[in-house]
Structure 1
Amino acid sequence: MEWLANMNRALDYIEMNLSGNIELSEVARHACCSSHQFQRMFSFITNVPLAEYIRRRRLTLAAIDLQNHGAKVIDAALKYGYESPVSFGRAFQQLHGVTPSAARIEGTALKAYPRLSFLISIKGAEAMNYRMETKEAFQVFGLEREFQIDGGGEMPQTPAQWWQHCHENGAIEQLAARAGGLPSFVSQDLHKVHALCSYKHTGGDTFPYMLCAFRNESSAVEGYSVISIPTLTWVVFTSELFTWDAFDNIIETMYRRFYGEWLPTAGYEPVDSMEFEIYGSRDGLQYVELWFAVRKAQ
């Protein structure tokens, strides 16, 4: 259960530094993955963004300091990373429903968000469709972009917005036209353009994303980035057939079940930097495959 131990070590680091500076790169180091991958895993498993969890824990401890230890408001604000009592008071009231000064009064009702721990949860209400495959080395080519983890930066700010932008300007259709045929190791009812996620380190606050096609002898790759994928073992999860309006819910559920149900109990751990979203269609409906590069847990 090394994967669970790594995740809990990351939470231990967060807990020990709630009154100091929390480096996301250090959080990720404890979890043995990239910063982006840890934040995605955390969000899918807990349904709470990592930054929001940290904010809640800090404000929980601040309330304890104010109510039980008689701390001054300005001291609590500075201790838990706020630049001024005003910004601290605004965040505190948003979470607890009362001002920091009111929290010092005996009998004031406050909220507490306890420290999380990752444990194995026996669920299994629904079957998960997956297969294990070892694929020989191959290449993909396409359009690369870096995105900020917090969703900031220039438009388009998210992969979904970038897909829309590239559909509108014809870049998707052009990439599909230059892809050539599909390789023999994938289903022949796949689309030509897919997504490669988190395949290299770009820094603690950004992650890479690529709109890609499989490269073969008939592909025209001039002007595109080319990425070499080494021989790896993949766990492949396949969705049921769906219509495009259900896509967001389908793919979010698949990610959540991989991180929250399959990975903690399967005896495997992710190989950082290799993850595909593969799209296909059959009988007039769509489906998606998620490919996660994995290895036997140490």
Structure 2
Amino acid sequence: MIAELNTLIDLIESDLADCAGSAGIEGETGIDIEKLAGNLGTTEYHLRRMFSSLAGMPLSVYIRRRRMTVAAADVVAGHGLLGIAIRFGYGSTEAFGRAFRAVHGAGPSEVRRSGGPLRSQSTIRFRLTIEGSSSMDTRITDKPAFSLIGHAKRVPLIHEGENPHIREHIEALPTDEHARLKALSEAEPTGLLQVTADVDPDYREGTELTYLHGVAVGTSTSAPEDLDVINVDAGTWVVFTTSGSYPEALQSTWAATASEWFPSNPWQLRPGPSIVSILDRAADLSTATIELWLPVERA
């Protein structure tokens, strides 16, 4: 995966050097990410998720920052703004100006007058560091189709710390509702679950996802009418088990899946919900033993 990501970086730089990218979703270049991923033996979904996890930013944001870094030289040199906008894949000076300001914090005219401020995005280069000082407690399991039932809500994605929108969603449930849900659990992952689905492939902070507080049941089980349902296809899952401060231990495990586990194992993420099962916890949830379930397929 490290080699694949560096190949992607090289193609982005080549595209920028040609100044011939076409503006796509979120201002991406004309590179066909899906086709590239296929040629590299992976999937666009996995490539984007691994990039965002390892780089600390979505692929689309990196491309926009690199594009505006290169375009800034033309702006400072006094070239026509419309020509610059077209060369870098924007249909108008207004669209280019918005993207430029989002990266540099100032519009092209301001930068042209004063020479700044400019915020440069260096070219990323991925390297795998082998430490060997720790191991990850994992298992691979094949599961038939199942359903996740519970109370769902659309919430924004937050990378670090507790998500207050999720906390508010759970706290709004009646006290006895948690016991009722737990009694409905009949399939792995067992117990009350924290489910995230419909996540943006780039894992951009602030984008919306579906969060479900519920349990797993068999596909033949009819869910009560007042509960939401997420149907999950049959497939392979990797399960990571960890203990420690919560939610820091969970977030550290998420990061380690991208930086350590996936680069070292012949598996890749496939679309589907991620599931957290709390096996044991302190009364105030300050510490916990958890399982993180991720849908995978052979790379």
TM-score by length of 2: 0.68
| Match 1:44 to one of 45, 50, 53 | 53
Amino acid at match of 2:272: S
* Deviation (angstroms), 1:170: 1.3
- Cα 1:200–1:176 change in 2 (3 A) is farther
Q: Does residue 61 in structure 1 map to residue 70 in structure 2? A: yes
Count of residue pairs the alignment pairs up: 271
Aligned to 2:234: 231
Aligned to 2:40: none
- Cα 1:147–1:175 change in 2 (3 A) is same
CA distance in 2, matches of 1:149, 1:199: 8
* Deviation (angstroms), 1:33: 4.0
* Alpha-carbon RMSD: 4.3
| Match 2:80 to one of 72, 76, 79 | 72
CA distance in 1, matches of 2:113, 2:158: 31
Deviates more, 1:86-95 or 1:55-64: 86-95
- Cα 1:259–1:29 change in 2 (3 A) is farther
* Deviation (angstroms), 1:175: 5.4
CA distance in 2, matches of 1:136, 1:14: 40
- Cα 1:273–1:118 change in 2 (3 A) is farther
> Which runs of structure 2 are paired with 1:143-292 in the superposition (5 Å)?
143-146=151-154, 160-170=163-173, 174=177, 176-180=179-183, 182-183=185-186, 185-186=188-189, 191-198=191-198, 207-215=209-217, 221-242=224-245, 246-247=246-247, 249-282=248-281, 284=283, 285-292=287-294
- Cα 1:39–1:212 change in 2 (3 A) is farther
CA distance in 1, matches of 2:10, 2:60: 15
**8 A contact 1:180–1:218 mirrored in 2:** no
Per-residue Cα deviation, 1:122-175 (whole angstroms, up to 9, x for no partner):
344433222222233332212334457799xxxxxxx93442232232168525
* Deviation (angstroms), 1:46: 1.0
Per-residue Cα deviation, 1:28-50 (whole angstroms, up to 9, x for no partner):
6654244xx76554332112344
| Partner-residue secondary structure (3-state), 1:236 | strand
Aligned to 1:140: 148
| Match 2:136 to one of 123, 128, 134 | 128
| Partner-residue secondary structure (3-state), 2:224 | coil
CA distance in 2, matches of 1:9, 1:259: 17
Per-residue Cα deviation, 1:88-126 (whole angstroms, up to 9, x for no partner):
674565389x923444xxxx9966433335454434443
| Partner-residue secondary structure (3-state), 1:83 | helix
CA distance in 2, matches of 1:255, 1:126: 15
CA distance in 1, matches of 2:296, 2:36: 18
CA distance in 1, matches of 2:174, 2:192: 13
Deviates more, 1:119-128 or 1:229-238: 119-128
Amino acid at match of 1:46: A
* Deviation (angstroms), 1:56: 1.9
| Partner-residue secondary structure (3-state), 2:168 | helix
| Partner-residue secondary structure (3-state), 1:241 | strand
**8 A contact 1:9–1:30 mirrored in 2:** no
* Deviation (angstroms), 1:266: 0.5
**8 A contact 1:73–1:101 mirrored in 2:** no
Structure 1: 5+ residue stretches without partners: 152-158
Amino acid at match of 1:276: I
Amino acid at match of 2:71: A
Q: Does residue 99 in structure 1 map to residue 98 in structure 2? A: no
- Cα 1:196–1:255 change in 2 (3 A) is same
- Cα 1:166–1:145 change in 2 (3 A) is closer
Structure 2: 5+ residue stretches without partners: 38-42
- Cα 1:184–1:52 change in 2 (3 A) is closer
| Partner-residue secondary structure (3-state), 1:279 | strand
Per-residue Cα deviation, 1:45-68 (whole angstroms, up to 9, x for no partner):
11234443233202211133346x
